[in-house]
Amino acid sequence: MIELPVIDAAASHEEKTRPRFWRSFSHLHRDPEFERIAANEFMPGASEPPSGASRRQFLQLMGASIALAGLTGCRRPVQHIMPFARKPEEMIPGIPMQYATGMPFRGVLRPLLVESHDGRPTKIEGNPE
């Protein structure tokens, strides 16, 4: 025959009052000295929420600032196309000058056709050849 444990109301009540996990024997046996020390474990008011900004508001503000900082870092750098520093002798004002050149793009040199008026580039297009 199977023996089952006897359920006693007094034993179950004692089981409920004892902590399941304990730090020391004084905690297990509810020593008054331990209860006094445990009551003063945290500073008064430590369990109350702080006044002012909450943790959620702080995280929202930090998330927004990081998102805005990321957006400012996504711009392409500004590149200026400059005219000649000194005017070449063979250049005639009003007549466009055309020449072929190259520009590095993603590690590869891309061929370009450039048309310039008075030393200022006015049209830049890809060279099909």
The pLDDT value given to residue 84:
67
3-state secondary structure at position 47? coil
What ranges make up the beta strands (E) of 24-126? 97-105, 108-117, 120-126
Q: CA geometry: angle at 61 spanning 57 and 62, to 5°?
A: 115
Domain ranges of the chain: 9-41, 97-126
pLDDT at residue 75 greater than cutoff 90: no
Q: What is the pLDDT of residues 10-53, one digit of tens each?
A: 555 555 677 778 777 777 777 888 788 777 778 777 777 767 77
> Rounded to two decimals, what is the model's pTM?
0.32
